[in-house]
């Protein structure tokens, strides 16, 4: 109970604090110290689930805010027709991108075998392409499918290659 922040002791009040302590003492007879520390961190889930849920929501919100503050995306042209992309994005955004790219790299995604496309028949050329290259091709395909008319205005027209 000593590991709980002071504001939680105050929110729990003396009755819930005693209940939490009694529960942890009961756990101490059946669990090793390392397990007991883990149980103690989650004791609010047992004695005050509504407070635990509110605290988890605050923690998650702070984590997401820190992730947004750290986010960055950089582009560096290599001079050989390629560009290195380096990014740090929140986990939820990375997960969404991985899901979208997985849809393009899935063996079931059968868009043909033209240059720059991914997917294709199992056992074919696509199976020999390394996954990191499949993902790069998938990102290109994803970007090609975006409708520039539905993107935010950036002060000009969409790029046209001449």
pTM of model > 0.95 = no
Average pLDDT of adjacent 10-residue blocks, the chain of 162 residues: 57 82 90 89 87 91 96 98 97 96 83 50 69 96 91 69 60
Domain ranges of the chain: 6-69, 71-149
Distances in Å between the Cα of 111 and the Cα atoms of 34, 125, 126, 127 are 52, 13, 11, 14
Contact call for residues 122 and 88 (beta carbons, < 8 A): no
- pLDDT per position as a tens digit, 118-162: 555 555 665 789 999 999 999 999 999 999 888 888 666 656 665
């Amino acid at each position: 109970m000593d590991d709980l922040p002071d504001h939680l002791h105050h929110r729990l009040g003396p009755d819930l604090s005693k209940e939490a302590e009694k529960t942890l003492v009961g756990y101490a007879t059946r669990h090793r110290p390392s397990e007991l520390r883990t149980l103690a961190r989650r004791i609010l889930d047992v004695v005050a689930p509504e407070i635990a849920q509110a605290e988890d929501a605050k923690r998650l919100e702070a984590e997401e805010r820190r992730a947004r503050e750290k986010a960055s995306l950089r582009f560096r042209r290599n001079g050989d027709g390629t560009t290195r992309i380096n990014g740090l994005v929140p986990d939820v955004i990375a997960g969404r991108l991985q899901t979208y790219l997985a849809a393009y790299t899935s063996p079931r995604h059968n868009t043909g075998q033209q240059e720059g496309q991914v997917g294709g028949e199992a056992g074919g050329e696509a199976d020999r392409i390394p996954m990191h290259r499949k993902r790069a091709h998938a990102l290109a395909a994803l970007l090609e499918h975006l409708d520039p008319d539905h993107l935010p205005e950036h002060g000009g027209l969409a790029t046209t290659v001449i």
